[in-house]
Amino acid sequence: MIGTAFYIMEFVPGRILADPKLPGVSPADRAKIFDSMNDVLARIHNVDYRAAGLGISGARPIIQRQIARWSRPV
């Protein structure tokens, strides 16, 4: 234990799509991107977060923490 919170990332090759309007992407390719995004979101929502060890993190469950974070004004 080093006394500081940290995480390890892995490089994954791919594109970074910063603009959700996807300028310069054809309608057919845009549809494929959105279909893929929706597939991943559906898979994430099917994960049993308690079985994955994400149910309790600190004082509040991680879901409550995330909703509170997303709901804060920027």
- Quick one: which H or E segment has residue 40? helix 27-45
Please tell me the predicted confidence (pLDDT) of residue 73. Answer: 81
Please tell me the predicted confidence (pLDDT) of residue 53. Answer: 75
Please tell me the predicted confidence (pLDDT) of residue 68. Answer: 82
> Could you state, in chain order, the average pLDDT of each consecutive group of 10 residues for the chain (74 residues)?
75 88 94 94 88 67 78 80
What is the distance between the alpha carbons of residues 1 and 26, in angstroms, rounded to a whole number? 49
3-state SS class at 34? helix
- DSSP label of 5: -
Please tell me the predicted confidence (pLDDT) of residue 2. Answer: 65
What is the distance between the alpha carbons of residues 69 and 74, in angstroms, rounded to a whole number? 10
Please tell me the predicted confidence (pLDDT) of residue 32. Answer: 95
